[in-house]
Amino acid sequence: MDSAEASPETLLDAGDALREARDWPAAERAYRAYLAERPRHWQIHVQLGHAVKEQGRHEEALGHYRHAASLAPDALDPVFQEGELLRRLGNGLEAAEAMARARAIAPDAPLLRRLAALLRHRIAPPESPAALPLPPEGPPTQFAFDVTDLLDYLRDARTPTGIQRVQMGLVGGILEHPAPPAPLLLVAYDPSAWRWWQVDIAQFRQVLALSRIGAAAEDPAWRAATAMLCAADAAPDAPILPGATLASLGNAWGIEDYFRGLRVLRRRVPLRYAAFLHDCVPLAMPEHCLELTARLYARWFAALALHADLLLANSRATAGDVVRHGAPLGLRTAPSVIPLAAEPPPPREAALVAADALDLDEADAPFVLFVATLESRKNHLMVFQAWLELLRRLPADQVPRLLCVGRPGWRAEGALGLLERSAKLRRKVQVISGVSDLALAGLTARCLFTVYNSFHEGWGLPVSESLAAGKLCVVPAHSGLLESGAPGAVFFPPGDLPALVETLARLATDPAYRAALEARIDRAAAMREWPVAAAEALASLAAPQPPPPPRPAFPAGERLSLAAAPPPPSLATAWAEAVREGLGWWWQEAWGCWTRDGLATLMLPLDVPAGTPVRVLLELRGPPGGIALRLRARGAEQTPWRRLHLAAEDRPGVVLQAVAGPDGVVVELDSGDGVPLGDRAERRVGAGVVAVMACAEDDLAARMAALEAAEG
């Protein structure tokens, strides 16, 4: 094409066609020829920037994006393209500044919301050396309920179990409260962007309603509703008010970097933090948990000693476990007990119809119901052994079927293996999952009785739901089951197989005995409703709080490993997590923790008088390719930066000195633009921190112990 003779429109069409064909040099020539005729067409300056960028001329591309922005100051695309190219080039500071300008132009754009959140650490002001914030005084100005873990669950499953059922009952009841003591808000935490976002209450209610009436997770209506509810990037930042109470009523222990996200929020918004404890199984019986679960729970539980202002528990048994396991940590508050509730029964006919639609073997045969995930803690193996013993002792037609409702979980092999090996047992036992609440209510109405043979429970919601429906539940006499089963459960000595067999045999073969026990069930007590439990939870959260006791002291002179520590929980674990302040960190790993590009801060609140000379020992790790690092410790006085080159996989120990301020000292590590780690998360990292120790300069014993620990 002769560009001298072609019209501007023809040149533009040619440039676009060449761009689609990815012929970047030819597209560049066409766009340049067009811009010679139409020099103020800013959108084509952006396209020219793309064409030269694809040829590797990045600085030139940035110039075109910036020129386009000068022609159209209110246009989003040029500034966004500049920021995105800078981000991909690893120029974090300039990228953050560009994305901040783009966010000012389009504050509600979901993609910008995420990118600005990911980059904001590069333009955040340095952290001041201040201790963890104290909770605000006075009554709560707002109740913000964190539903992060519930949304994570609902992304993948429709039928709630255990803690999800409890959380849905409590939060649903709280949202129905006619006169809450303060305004209500639902929030969630996005650990991938260290951002708290607002959850739409109407969408949340819709998803809760859908979860109760169906079980098909692939249902288009369900998929659409959960996708809209869980779209963090499309949601605004959570408008949490100063003086609010942020309450987690679910399972925050599984959320990566949760407490660092809480600290970032508390630096900006003074608030109280409340946590609901459902059980202490990973501490009391770690052998029944995944190693990862036990480790994450121990880290979370330890962190409560530093971060929780209020605690709630579902039973006196759980509260006692919390106090016992928390005593060595200096846990500052005992939990208020909020006994759990049960869903009101749905219309009987609708429930029976839903149950009849299930694919059951011998659907008309009498059966006993066991509702629980198939995992080692629920001890299905012992119940299956009891059923085999019943089959040995009784005619087969006198032994009811056993219907187990729950998905196979961790260490279910023992129970499932026995079921696989015994044809006799398979004729009497069926395992199903994905049962809706409505169908489950129908099964409960049809069963002879239920069984729930857990090794340890904080409460035992299936027990409450069985008794509320007027059905006996056979349970071991221990832990929270003594409380959930109080309205009329049939107890047997824990782990006593012969006693369980005797109990099951009599209930199965003596209808008059079973009916007499059913008549003694205190259904009114068992049918405690979620709005009642929710009102009690709100009252506990709103109650005037005494001045908080001091937080456990920072362990001066102790080596704090930043690695993800194994159980049991300890103050060292809590402080090693808590010293990572602000946005300049990635998550903890088995060896320690990578910093991000830019500035990372360690907050070391030593309990020493201001003006005390302090020594800090850092154990570092070099990232791939090495890095030039600046670092310093500061407190009462500004101190000069030290410069250090960290070679790849280098593991040096570095000593820093400072004069303590009123809240101890701060260590800053500046890794500049960092380096690509090359992992699946495409992280850009700075120096790695393996461990830290801080003590008074004259504490020679601590200094020697830390050096020995580092060498060992």
The predicted model scores a pTM of 0.93
574 SS3 class: helix
The token pair that represents 65 in the structure block: 């994006």
Task: Note the pLDDT of residue 712.
Answer: 61
Contact between residue 468 and residue 341 where contact means Cβ atoms under 8 Å apart: no
**By the 8 A CB rule, do 151 and 119 touch?**
no
Asked if residue 108 belongs to a domain, the reply is yes
Sheet bearing 642-646, strands edge to edge = 580-581, 599-604, 665-670, 627-634, 642-646
Dist CA 534 CA 541 (whole Å):
11
Same domain for 159 and 244, yes or no, is yes
The domain tally of the chain equals 4
Confidence band for 671, pLDDT divided at 50, 70 and 90? very high
Residue 62 lies in domain: 8-122
Q: How would you class 511 by CB atoms within 10 Å of its CB: exposed for 0-12, middle for 13-18, buried for 19 or more?
A: exposed
Note whether residue 533 is domain-resident. no
Instruction: Decide if pLDDT at 410 tops 60.
Output: yes
pLDDT band at 229 (very low <50, low <70, confident <90, very high): very high
By the 10 Å C-beta count (0-12 exposed, 13-18 middle, 19+ buried), 566 is classed as middle
Residue 339 tokens read as: 């006994």
Query: Is 127 in contact with 634 (CB distance < 8 Å)?
Result: no
End-to-end, the C-alpha distance of the chain in Å comes to 73
Kindly report, residue by residue over 528-578, the tens digit of the pLDDT.
999 999 999 999 999 998 887 888 999 999 999 999 888 899 999 999 999
The answer to whether the CB of 538 falls within 8 A of the CB of 143 is yes
Amino acid at 393: R
- Average pLDDT of 393-407? 97
The greatest distance separating any two alpha carbons of the chain, rounded to the nearest whole angstrom, comes to 103
The reply to whether 538 falls in a domain is no
Q: Is the dihedral of CA 230, 234, 235, 237 positive or negative?
A: positive
Question: Locate tokens 């009498």: which residue?
Answer: 366
- CA gap 178, 567 in Å, rounded: 43
In percent, the amount of the chain with pLDDT more than 70 equals 98
Q: Which residues, at least 6 apart from 632, have a Cβ–Cβ distance to it below 8 Å?
A: 639, 640, 641, 642, 656, 658, 667, 668
Q: Which tens digit of pLDDT belongs to each residue from 479-538?
A: 999 999 999 999 999 999 999 999 999 999 999 999 999 999 999 999 999 999 999 999
Confidence label for 711 from pLDDT (cuts 50, 70 and 90)? low
The CATH number that applies at residue 20 is 1.25.40.10
Tell me the average pLDDT across 11-39: 97
pLDDT in tens, 360-373: 999 999 999 999 99
**Structural domain contains residue 294:** yes
H helix and E strand count, the chain: 28, 25
- Do 703 and 647 share a structural domain? yes
Q: Does residue 511 lie in a domain region?
A: yes
In a shared domain, residues 380 and 518: yes
* Residue 3 scores a pLDDT above 70: no
**Residue among 269, 4, 227, 289 at smallest CA distance from 141:** 269
Is the same domain home to 187 and 325?
A: yes
Residue 459 domain flag: yes
Question: Is 463 in the same domain as 587?
Answer: no
In a domain, 128, yes or no: no
User: Do 514 and 573 fall into the same domain?
Assistant: no
Closest CA to 102 of 122, 88, 119: 119
Q: What share of the chain is helix, strand, coil (3-state, %, to 5)?
A: 45, 20, 35
Has residue 541 been placed in a domain? no
